[in-house]
Structure 1
Amino acid sequence: MDLSDRLSEIEERYERLQGEMASPDVARDPDRLRRLGKDLSELGEIVAPFREYRTALHQAQEARTLAKDESDPEMAAYLREEAEAAEARAGELHARLEALLVPKDPNDGKDVVVEIRAGAGGDEAALWAGTL
């Protein structure tokens, strides 16, 4: 399964969850509402760049097609520049999407308490620990 297929599945799940959130039954169940909201938020972070990525690819393809058919050399050059800019944007979004699809650590969303104590180092260590 390639990246595009995986992202399409995520987008379909996002759309399905949005439909579920609109259901009156979900509004009556706060736990389910919270869980769906969290899932939608997580998927939305992936779906929005994916939609931008598809738009950028479409714009690049459209600009290349128009540049090929254009008789005015200046306009053709402009369209080629637009296509290159759209392809560059698509490349950036592709890299971002790959990073977003890396599984998250299950401990990322948990709270942490960190205690900092002055150890060896005397007064300077105590001052530094105190400022933190």
Structure 2
Amino acid sequence: MARQGTLVALKAIIKLYCIDYIDQNAYGYEITEAVSSRLKPFGFSPHHSEVYRTLHEMADESMILRHERHIGPRQKVVYYTFTDDGRAAAAAYKKTLKENLDRSIALLNAAVADNYS
């Protein structure tokens, strides 16, 4: 997560959107596509491996659980759900990230006003 006085890292943005899509009961591929689609208009389209890396890190932190569902003889989908503690951790993460986003927006606005007006 971004530290005070720094801009929010794109990795934090990916995690934020992963949290949102997990709450919508999306499966892994849906999450990767949704995150890429949402960020693409801003010139950033993360590779699916970046999104899966974030999901795996969240699982390693015991924030989420991974569930495989077979939908055919050779095909499976992977869903993610929050653990009890993970839901609270996600809420805390979002709160802290919002504070960092607000600070970053203020910094960017000041830089634009001071240098491009």
- Shared fold (TM-score greater than 0.5)? no
More helix by share: 1
Bigger share in strand? 2
